[in-house]
Chain A
């Protein structure tokens, strides 16, 4: 228990540190100019914008090796031993079990309508959806969505910080990595330390891993096969998709690179 409180405290401390660092940056014109550059449509198009690229590439290679050696085979076994409908049920169950985390983040973001949807889905799916295995809420028109504390911080205006590839967890940013830490502490299961709760926690983590990886077996293999630079390709896909998640799927075409970037080539011929 003490360890857990320390984890929570450490996360909180790190958060306040980033927050104050942000405030102290506010008056510095150089930092401001840097931030403006960071706001360019595709900050990762220039090599300087992934300051930890060297470290990240090593981590990425490590994760890729672990993925190939362990996660993909595990996901394949999972696919071979379960039926498509069962996997769908397990995905539903895991999403339903994550409700407390999603709900808290909905509320922290001031997304009250979505918070209502989250709560409504939990009630419907836990009861007539057999403890969350089914998703009758989807059929009656309350679609599923996910939230995490990294997104909440983004909504609060905390910049993402540099791109970072975390061992085992994969691509993230400083902000989203901290957010993932906070989400862990928001989960009620985290605070119960009976042996069975611990067992539940570990098995849930294991099942989550194969359940998330299984539908991605082919898409990721495709990206790997089709890319010249798997690391850069993955980084771009991740960053673009993450931006969409933070915007809660609302289409935002404002920060695309300008069409002028396409147009200026009219002169070079």
Chain B
């Protein structure tokens, strides 16, 4: 009797495990293609971040941002509900201004990682089109100021399957979200709508010019 119960219990256990295990073992859905995409961007960034010369570093970063970040999409995102209220002329002026402004922000943020190499660690897909890829500093020693920082990349996959970067952040603080908070606040505090957008454009012009 004993001899048969034990295997039965074991088999039952195995059956339950077989059903339940995948529920726990299923990794947080990852997207390998997006991970490979970001890794290739990071590989391309490595020699640029290794530049000793500041001008070469900043120019290289600007070229990289231009190549991979979809500034038009990000620029419209940062306007929030006001994106639809823009006149055609405003839009024509806004997009290049935004690109210049945001490129500066990216340059500043990324130059902090000068001399470092970032590697993809994992990814989380919020949807098929919307993937967060996480990266970490390679070979960080515990105690290094960067050792515990996760740098996130938000990858957007368009209908044709082409991937672009639409936001970047560190430790859950995102750039485009912060920019949207600023821009919508400026527009709202200057009368909203077309008038508010004019005020934003004036401030952007000033900032980019300086």
Residues of A whose CB lies within 8 Å of any CB of B are 42, 44-47, 135, 138-139, 143, 222, 226-229, 231-233, 235-237, 240-241, 243-244, 247, 249, 251-254, 256-259, 261-263, 265, 268
Q: Is the CB of B172 within 8 A of A45?
A: no
Contact A256 B177 (CB under 8 A): yes
Which chain B residue has the least Cβ–Cβ distance from A47? B188
A256: chain B residues at CB < 8 Å are 126, 132, 154, 174, 177
Q: Is the CB of B126 within 8 A of A228?
A: no
Q: Is the CB of A241 within 8 A of B171?
A: yes
The answer to whether B80 touches A45, judged by C-beta atoms less than 8 angstroms apart, is yes
Q: Would A253 and B81 count as touching, CB distance under 8 A?
A: no
Known: A44-B185, A259-B127, A259-B166. 7 other contacts (CB 8 A): A42-B177, A139-B142, A227-B182, A240-B177, A259-B126, A262-B76, A265-B83
Q: Chain A residues near B117 (CB, 8 Å)?
A: none
A252 and B172 contacting across the interface, CB-CB below 8 Å: yes
Q: Say which residue of B76, B124, B174 sits within 8 Å of A240 (CB atoms).
A: B174
Which one of A143, A222, A235 lies within 8 Å of B181 (CB-CB)?
A235
When C-beta atoms are compared, the residue in chain B nearest to A143 turns out to be B148
Question: Which chain B residues have a beta carbon within 8 Å of chain A's beta carbons?
Answer: 72-74, 76-77, 80-81, 83-84, 104-105, 108, 124, 126-127, 129-130, 132, 134, 142-143, 148, 150, 154, 156, 166, 171-174, 177-178, 180-186, 188-189, 200, 203-204, 207
Q: Which residues of chain A have C-beta atoms less than 8 A from B105's C-beta?
A: 226
Bound CA–CA A127/B182 (angstroms): 47
Across the A-B interface, give the 3 residue pairs with the lowest CB-CB distance, nearest first.
Answer: A47-B188, A259-B130, A236-B181
